[in-house]
Amino acid sequence: MRDRPGAGFLAFIVHRGTGIVLALFILPHLYILYFLGDPARYEAIRRFCSRPLARLSEAGLLGLVLAHGLNGIRIMLLEAGAPSRIQKTLFRAAVIAGLLLFFAGARLMMR
Amino acid sequence: MVSKKFKIKRFDPEKDIPGGKPRWEEFTVEMDPFERLLDGLVRIKEAQDGSLTFRLSCAHGMCGSCAMKINGKNALACQTLAKNTPEAVVLEPLPVFPVIKDLVVDMDPFFEKIGAVMPWLVADGPHPERERSQSPEELGKIMDAIKCIMCGCCTSSCPVYRADRDYLGPAALVKAARFILDSRDATWKERLKAVSGENGFWMCHSIYNCYEVCPRSIDITGYIAWLKRLAVKKMFFPPKGQR
Amino acid sequence: MKNKNPRQKKLAAGWFLGRASGLLLVLLLAVHFTVIHFERGGQEKIPGRSAGFHGAVFLRLSHPLWWVFYAVFLSAALYHGFYGLRGIAAEYIRRERLLASIRAGLLAASIALWAAGMLILVNSQLLLANPPALCYKCHARGSIPSCRAIRFFGFGAINKK
C-alpha cells in the first residue's frame, strides 16, 4: 500500500499532522490564559515558559504554524484557480519561505 | 533486447487467503526497449505461467483495462515502455479495490461511483434535425475531461478514497464536471447536487495524486477545485434559470 | 429558486468558512507572533517589559481593538481547528453512530472552549475595572510595554491608570 510520496501527498500528510497538533494546542493555551485572573500564578507560568527548553518548543510551535499556514496558502491559491501544474513549484516555494521564516523567527525568539 | 525482471504480486482465490501474506513471483523476459510492459506480461502468460491473470483489451491506452500499480505508481501497462522502467519492474494490482485474481481487481465499487453522478447527457428541447452542435469554444471547455477512459488509476491512488470508500472519488467528480460544463446538458443543478453532498468534492484535500497518475493527463484536481468554486458561487449567488 | 437544498448550502458555507478562517488566521497569527514571541526576546532583559507579561496583556486588552482582535482570533482558530478535526473524523471512522457521537463531542468541546475563551476576555475587562494588587502595582510603575510591534500595529493601550 505504499505510494511514492509526491509533493502533494507529502504536503497533505504534513498539513494533517500539524493541523491536529495545532487544534489540540488551543486547549493548553486557553488553560494558561485562564490564569490571567491570578497574576502571581500567571507570572510563574510565564517564567517557566522562558526557560531554554520551553523556548525551543516555542520555536517548534512556530515551525508547526509556518508549515500549516504556508501550505494552507498554497492549497487556497490552487483551489482559487491557480493552475495545477504549478502545485509542485508552489510546494517548493512554501518550503523555502517556511525555512527562511522559521530561522528568522527562531533567531528572534532565542535571543 | 534487454532482460527484464518482472516481480508480480499474485493472488489466487483458490489457494490464497484474501488479505493474507502477499505472494510475490519473479519472471524474466527478454524485451525490446520499445516494447510495452503489457507485451512482457503477455509473453509470461504464453510461455512461462499460463495462470498469470491480468486484464487487457485495446493495448493502446484507450480502454483503461490494464491499469495497475507499476513500481509504486498507478499507470497503464500498455503505456509504459520497457526502456522507461528500471531493470526490475514491480507490478501490483490497483490498490484499494478488492483483488479478484493476480492483477485483476473488482472495479464494481469504482463504476458504482461513476453511475451515481448520472454519466449521460440530458438534453432538453426537441431533437434537432441533425446533431446538437457545439462551438469550438464550448467543446474546448470539456475537451480535457472527455479524455477520461475510466481506468481507475486516479481513484485508487486517492488517499481520501483509501480512507473512506464512501467518497465519490476523482474519476466520478471529473465525470460530473464534464457534464456540468457541457453546453448541451440541461441538468447541471441535479448534477451539482449529486456531487456536493457529504461524500462529494468537499472531501477532496487537493493532494494531487490523481493529477500525477492520470494516464490521460487530465487536470483532475483542477476540475474538482472548479466544482468547489462553482458550489461556493452558487451559495452566494443563487442561480436564476440557466447558468 | 429559494434554498431548495439547505444541506448542500450548509456544506458549502462550512467549507467556505473553513477556508476564510484559515486565511484570517494567517494574518492574525502574523500579528500574534510578532507581538508575543518575536519582540519578547529583546525585552526579557528588562523584567516586566515583555509583551507576554501580565501587565502588558492587560494593557492591550484595555484597548477595544485588541479585545476584538482576540475575540476574532479565538473564534477563527476554534472554527478552523474543529472544522478540520470533524472532517478527519468523518474520513476515518466508519461506524455511523460512533461518528455521530464524536461529531457531537467535537461540537460541544468547541463551544465550551469558545465560552471559556470569551469568559477570559470578559473577565479581563472586569479585572481592568478593578485591578488586583500586583496588576495595579505594575500599572502604577507605568510599565507600558515599549514593544515596537505594538506601536507598529498602531493600537497601544489607552486607559492607563
The CATH 1.10.1060.10 portion of chain B extends over 108-236
Question: Has residue C54 been placed in a domain?
Answer: yes
The answer as to CATH 1.10.1060.10 being correct for domain B108-236 is yes
Interface predicted TM-score (ipTM) of this complex, two decimals? 0.91
- Name the residue with cell 501497462: B77
Name the minimum distance, in Å, from the CA of C5 to any CA of chain A: 24
Residue B238 at interface with chain C, using a CB cutoff of 8 Å = yes
| Nearest Cα to Cα of residue C22 among C78, C63, C105 | C78
User: Please, which chains are in contact with C (at least 3 CB pairs closer than 8 A)?
Assistant: A, B
Write the CA distances from B207 to A83, A89, C109, integer angstroms. 14, 14, 29
B vs C, Cβ pairs < 8 A, gives 41
Angstrom distance (rounded) from CA C55 to CA B52: 76
Q: What is the pLDDT of residues B161-189, one digit of tens each?
A: 999 999 999 999 999 999 999 999 999 88
C120 vs A26, A36, A110: nearest CB: A36
Instruction: Give the number of domains in chain C.
Output: 1
Per-residue model confidence (pLDDT) at position C49: 47
Residue A77 at interface with chain B, using a CB cutoff of 8 Å = no
User: Please, which chains are in contact with A (at least 3 CB pairs closer than 8 A)?
Assistant: B, C
- Check A46 against C41: CB less than 8 A apart: no
A vs C, Cβ pairs < 8 A, gives 82
| A48 burial type by CB count under 10 A (0-12 exposed, 13-18 middle, 19+ buried) | exposed
Question: Has residue C158 been placed in a domain?
Answer: no
Cβ contacts of residue A43 below 8 Å, gap of 6+?
Answer: C53, C54, C134
Grid cell, residue B115, equals: 453511475
Per-residue model confidence (pLDDT) at position A4: 53
- Check C41 against A110: CB less than 8 A apart: yes
Other C-beta atoms closer than 10 Å to the C-beta of B238 total 12
Instruction: Report the SS3 class of residue A55.
Output: helix
pLDDT at B133 over 80: yes
Structural domain boundaries enclosing C142: 14-152
Name the minimum distance, in Å, from the CA of C11 to any CA of chain B: 7
- Check A8 against B208: CB less than 8 A apart: yes
Grid cell, residue C95, equals: 461506524
The helices-and-strands tally (H runs, E runs) of chain A is: 4, 0
- Check C2 against B196: CB less than 8 A apart: no
Question: Has residue C59 been placed in a domain?
Answer: yes
Angstrom distance (rounded) from CA C89 to CA C85: 6
Q: What is the pLDDT of residues C1-44, one digit of tens each?
A: 344 456 888 999 999 999 999 999 999 999 888 887 766 544 44
- Check B225 against A1: CB less than 8 A apart: no
Question: Has residue C157 been placed in a domain?
Answer: no
Instruction: Tell me which chain C residue has its CA closest to the CA of residue B165.
Output: C91
Question: Has residue C112 been placed in a domain?
Answer: yes
C9 vs B120 pLDDT, higher one: B120
pLDDT at A16 over 50: yes
Residue A87 at interface with chain B, using a CB cutoff of 8 Å = yes
One-character DSSP codes across B160-208:
HHHH-TTS--HHHHHHHHHHHS-TT---HHHHHHHHSSTTSGGG-----
Q: What is the pLDDT of residues B44-67, one digit of tens each?
A: 999 999 999 999 999 999 999 999
Residue A10 at interface with chain C, using a CB cutoff of 8 Å = no
- Check B197 against C7: CB less than 8 A apart: yes
pLDDT level of residue C146 (50, 70, 90 thresholds): very low
Name the minimum distance, in Å, from the CA of A30 to any CA of chain C: 6
B144-182 burial, b for 16+ CB within 10 Å, e for fewer? Answer: bbeebbbbbbbbbbbbbbbbbeebbbbbbbbbbbbbbbb
pLDDT at C149 over 50: no
Question: Has residue C3 been placed in a domain?
Answer: no
Over residues A30-43, the mean pLDDT reads 81
| Nearest Cα to Cα of residue A110 among A45, A47, A50, A29 | A50
Per-residue model confidence (pLDDT) at position C155: 45
Question: Has residue C101 been placed in a domain?
Answer: yes
Angstrom distance (rounded) from CA C58 to CA C131: 10
Domain architecture of chain A: domains with CATH = 8-110 (1.20.1300.10)
- Check A23 against C117: CB less than 8 A apart: no
Contact call for residues A35 and C14 (beta carbons, < 8 A): no
Other C-beta atoms closer than 10 Å to the C-beta of B39 total 18
With an 8 Å Cβ cutoff, the interface of chain B facing chain A consists of: 71-73, 95, 157, 159, 162, 205-209, 211-212, 219, 221-222, 225-226, 228-229
CATH number of the domain at B2-105, please?
Answer: 3.10.20.30
Question: Has residue C160 been placed in a domain?
Answer: no
Q: What is the pLDDT of residues B175-230, one digit of tens each?
A: 999 999 999 999 988 999 999 999 999 999 999 999 999 999 999 999 999 999 99
Q: What is the pLDDT of residues C46-83, one digit of tens each?
A: 444 456 667 677 777 777 888 899 999 999 999 999 99
| Nearest Cα to Cα of residue C52 among A55, A52, A101 | A55
- Check C53 against A105: CB less than 8 A apart: no
The CATH 3.10.20.30 portion of chain B extends over 2-105
